[in-house]
Amino acid sequence: MPSSTHDNFPSTPGKVKMERSNYFGRVASRWHSTASARLLGCSALLLAFALVVLFRVSSSGFADGGYFSNNGVLTFKPTLMWEKQVRQSCLPTRGDNPMVVLVTGAAGFVGTHVSLALKKRGDGVVGIDNFNSYYEISLKRARQEHLAKHGVFVIEADINNALLLKSLFEVVQITHVMHLAAQAGVRYAMENPGSYVHSNIAGLVNLFEICKAANPQPAIVWASSSSVYGLNTKVPFSEMDRTDQPASLYAATKKAGEEIAHTYNHIYGLSITGLRFFTVYGPWGRPDMAYFSFTRDILKGKPINIYQGANNKDLARDFTYIDDIVKGCVASLDTAERSTGSGGKKTGPAQLRIFNLGNTSPVTVPTLVDILEKYLNMKAIRNIVKMPRNGDVPFTHANVSSAQTQLNYKPITDLDTGLKKFVKWYLSYYELVSTRVSFW
């Protein structure tokens, strides 16, 4: 960690700002330097302990609703306050056939943007997110705060929590589910395979079980991934292409999700639309993704690893800007037909769709770095390394003609324009954090 207050993030290219964690560290060390601060330190420790206990309780859902132990079995019973927050959040403000949408992974990158878009046009929206620590939780909290300001309540719970989801469907009539909660990241799957099974398989099945039993059943739109195309060499990738050679466990769980969706559609009449997202980027993005971590490291003067494929070929991605993805998600919800099941039984065939949502113009990773350098006004220290064998694929390229015809999906943001917006957000977000802590 850098020790100076002026070696982290510029607020504008060339100007420097600090990060929240460093600031706290410096404040803490100043406290420790005085005798009276020792007493304060003890109180702070006690307070921290209490906060940790409170956080653990809240992360299991206590703070949002009411969990209690019934003969040793943990049961969920919504509190009046919880019900009120849910109902309020789900209240549509437009008259023309509004939807009431449950957004899973609402404090995530895409979840935040989709929730906002729906709320802003007058649909009822309630979110759910488990706030796991895959990447900085403070960013998820900031997104939650942002959503709360716009009237979207995000429940803190895991999608495997059947009791809570059941209660939610009893409290409000959810017409649509936008399922974005997932364990993301291609390379992390080798480190923590269980988390992919937990969220992308078990969580998905649990959610489908709840939806199938709901009366009426909601229509579901959910996030699959471009990674299902795996090691395919035919480009651009079309929905008709094979998807049976995934290169990572992440991809395999998304592919499994598509098959599970087929089953629930076939047996229970759930209307299900899967969206294969292509490397989505933009403001409020995911710190684990290359464009975000490169930005952070370039600003810190740290070297970045740029992977190269066989024969020193640059890797390329069909990077897709968040606003284009949001339009695709909302159009999918708007065109989703009703589920046909009732009381857990199918009464007729239901809609089952799968769409690519990409940008249709792949860009190499070195070009992405060139653009970041331009908007950060700083040079990257580039380490060119061989692509590790950890699930990565050499390129992605979407054919979106199906989404174009059926969803009127037209990506309009090129990587240069999108990254410019991302960098602007990044700089202002971290500047805002430092402004906040200066009051602390």
Ligand X SMILES: O=C(O)[C@H]1O[C@H](OP(=O)(O)OP(=O)(O)OC[C@H]2O[C@@H](n3ccc(=O)[nH]c3=O)[C@H](O)[C@@H]2O)[C@H](O)[C@@H](O)[C@H]1O
398 binds ligand X (CB under 6 A): no
Identify which of 266, 164, 174 has the alpha carbon closest to the alpha carbon of residue 215.
174
Site string for ligand X, 112-141 (x = CB under 6 A): ------------------------------
82 binds ligand X (CB under 6 A): no
Residue closer to ligand X by CB (options 11, 192) is: 192
290 binds ligand X (CB under 6 A): yes
Identify which of 266, 281, 177, 264 has the alpha carbon closest to the alpha carbon of residue 226.
281
Q: Which of 23, 135, 229, 250 is catalytic?
A: 250
Residue closer to ligand X by CB (options 268, 284) is: 284
Q: Pick from 128, 154, 211, 315: which binds ligand X (CB under 6 A)?
A: 315
Residue closer to ligand X by CB (options 25, 301) is: 301
Check: CB of residue 168 under 8 Å from CB of residue 206: no
Dist. CA 3–CA 26, nearest whole Å = 8
| 3-state DSSP assignment of residue 320 | strand
67 binds ligand X (CB under 6 A): no
Q: Pick from 307, 351, 401, 425: which binds ligand X (CB under 6 A)?
A: 307
200 binds ligand X (CB under 6 A): no
Taking the complex as a whole, the smallest distance from the CB of residue 93 to ligand X amounts, in Å, to 32
Dist. CA 359–CA 374, nearest whole Å = 22
Q: Pick from 265, 279, 332, 340: which binds ligand X (CB under 6 A)?
A: 279
Taking the complex as a whole, the smallest distance from the CB of residue 396 to ligand X amounts, in Å, to 6
Distances (CA, A) of 157 to 76, 162, 168, 314: 11, 10, 11, 40
Dist. CA 361–CA 400, nearest whole Å = 11
Handedness of CA 29, 31, 33, 37 (dihedral sign): negative
DSSP state of 398: B
Identify which of 142, 6, 20 has the alpha carbon closest to the alpha carbon of residue 436.
20
The span of 64-72, 147-155, 265-273, 305-313 binding ligand X (CB under 6 A) equals 305-313
Q: Pick from 175, 225, 359, 399: which binds ligand X (CB under 6 A)?
A: 225
285 binds ligand X (CB under 6 A): no
Residue closer to ligand X by CB (options 112, 225) is: 225
243 binds ligand X (CB under 6 A): no
Q: How many CB atoms lie within 10 A of CB 148?
A: 14
Site string for ligand X, 177-196 (x = CB under 6 A): -------xxx----------
365 binds ligand X (CB under 6 A): yes
Taking the complex as a whole, the smallest distance from the CB of residue 248 to ligand X amounts, in Å, to 9
Find all residues with CB under 8 Å of 102, minimum gap 6, and list them.
126, 127, 128, 168, 174, 176, 177, 178, 218
Residue with tokens 């370039």: 298
Structure-token pair, residue 321: 């800007």
322 binds ligand X (CB under 6 A): no
Dist. CA 258–CA 221, nearest whole Å = 12
Q: Is 250 a catalytic residue?
A: yes
Catalytically active residues, by annotation:
250
What residues make contact with ligand X under the rule CB under 6 A?
184-186, 225-227, 277-279, 289-290, 305-307, 315, 317, 365, 392
